Structure 1
């Protein structure tokens, strides 16, 4: 349903017609009660309008030369907008943007979290958030990694951004990278998405694994914005 269908309610009484082409008369079925059309109920009608046998019998005139004539008459009783719903704009040529974040002197990181430089994907500003000692259920045992809207307050009220994301820590030695991927609706009230337990601190620092090479960690984010939803 489009935005108009979602936000509008129409109450109507209607008749449906089928022409008897032999006599020039119409078979008429009328809905006696007004029906409410809206975004979640776009159609009303008659499940048993006419039997196949009666419809195809040539003497009845409803189907002649593989042609039939239908009609409708509609009486709108009232129409109003509910002022609710959402309008979703999908991006036909969504482009994936990759942002690479090189973090030097990793062992000396002592703040709760760090932000990458801001980058743009799908006309939205983003940043990677890294918690070197974990966040939530990952505190003390894991590194936590998130993608976040860099300026969520700039979004209009009710707006949401639908994006596919991949977050990755590069294995600089063996090219066996640690990654997580998924999709999420980002908004001003839900501006970030990621993993509390992205990788264990033991595995991250394990010799020969390559996640920390010369005390440098390389983090990548791939972001593809597929749609934007706005409140009506």
Structure 2
């Protein structure tokens, strides 16, 4: 039913043409994808996929074409960036219909998105695209670049719970003048889990944010420390504290972790919450080192 040819495979641009005779018989089979034979161009194996009775975004019947990177050319950790034109040829007047496509082919994405080349009704009524029940499709490659994907891996070690201290190291930062403090404000340094830390408090117009910061860049290169921590705004009247809990990795490149918009300024100043006694506010940090990691 179809004839194939490859042209200019050794030049900067290479073209594959797919001529389909007795095209009406393909239409009789209804909606569905038909594959061309596999062809090799620019160091890779490909095939075209044709759906003669697809639907476009307006739910109109159309002839769709897409390019597929064949299984033999799919390699782990390899990326194939291709720029090409999908074509339906005007066999009488040379006014071909072309769709320019750029696609990154890889293991998870071996097929380009479909291109609706022409409405089916327009194809049937055309004088150049369908000649003597023959239709010719093709792909013209403009550029193909193959690269190895950069893969970085991490090995994380988590300590057994039985080896962790029963009591978490805790530090309480009492701010005597909450409204008069610098913004952002930093607590004095304290030691917990074998490292030095500071609590950071940011006062925004309508809320506050809280962060834990590792103070010294003393970790080996490409290493991190896994930390379980809690930041609490203390209820100074013995009620429920406002707590935020986290489990994350601190490194020399990312020494600060925490939360934005922990509590509104309205709630901070609400006396029923006990967070602010006159101008005094107390924030507690509980910090436990529970593991470490190394990048490879």
Query: TM-score of the superposition, structure 1-length normalised?
Result: 0.56
> Of 120, 132, 149, which aligns to 2:191?
120
> What's 1:148 paired with?
213
> Of 188, 201, 204, which aligns to 1:130?
201
Q: Does 1:169 align with 2:239?
A: no
Structure 1's unaligned 5+ residue stretches are 1-83, 135-139
For residues 190 and 293 of structure 2, the distance between their equivalents in structure 1, rounded to whole angstroms, comes to: 21
Q: Does 1:212 align with 2:276?
A: yes
Structure 2's unaligned 5+ residue stretches are 1-151
For residues 159 and 176 of structure 2, the distance between their equivalents in structure 1, rounded to whole angstroms, comes to: 36
Task: Report the RMSD for the aligned CA atoms in angstroms.
Answer: 2.0
For residues 192 and 155 of structure 2, the distance between their equivalents in structure 1, rounded to whole angstroms, comes to: 21
Q: Contact 2:157–2:293 (CA<8 Å) still a contact in 1? A: yes
For residues 210 and 89 of structure 1, the distance between their equivalents in structure 2, rounded to whole angstroms, comes to: 40
Q: Contact 1:94–1:122 (CA<8 Å) still a contact in 2? A: no
Q: Contact 2:271–2:277 (CA<8 Å) still a contact in 1? A: no
Q: Contact 1:103–1:216 (CA<8 Å) still a contact in 2? A: yes
Q: Contact 1:173–1:210 (CA<8 Å) still a contact in 2? A: yes
Give the 3 Å change call, closer, same or farther, for CA 203–224 of structure 1 in structure 2. same
Measured after TM superposition, the shift of residue 179 of structure 1 is 1.0
> What's 1:107 paired with?
179
> What's 1:91 paired with?
159
Q: Contact 1:168–1:178 (CA<8 Å) still a contact in 2? A: yes
Measured after TM superposition, the shift of residue 181 of structure 1 is 0.7
For residues 218 and 272 of structure 2, the distance between their equivalents in structure 1, rounded to whole angstroms, comes to: 44
Measured after TM superposition, the shift of residue 215 of structure 1 is 1.2
SS of the equivalent of 1:203 reads: helix
Q: Contact 1:91–1:226 (CA<8 Å) still a contact in 2? A: yes
> What's 1:62 paired with?
none
> Which of these two proteins has the greater Rg computed from alpha carbons?
2
SS of the equivalent of 1:107 reads: coil
Measured after TM superposition, the shift of residue 230 of structure 1 is 2.7
For residues 193 and 286 of structure 2, the distance between their equivalents in structure 1, rounded to whole angstroms, comes to: 12
SS of the equivalent of 1:202 reads: helix
For residues 274 and 294 of structure 2, the distance between their equivalents in structure 1, rounded to whole angstroms, comes to: 43
> What's 1:76 paired with?
none
Aligned residues: 142
Give the 3 Å change call, closer, same or farther, for CA 117–91 of structure 1 in structure 2. farther
**Moved segments of 4+, more than 6 Å:** none
Measured after TM superposition, the shift of residue 112 of structure 1 is 2.1
Q: Contact 2:226–2:250 (CA<8 Å) still a contact in 1? A: yes
For residues 244 and 154 of structure 2, the distance between their equivalents in structure 1, rounded to whole angstroms, comes to: 30
> What's 1:33 paired with?
none
> Of 221, 229, 232, which aligns to 2:293?
229
For residues 183 and 261 of structure 2, the distance between their equivalents in structure 1, rounded to whole angstroms, comes to: 15
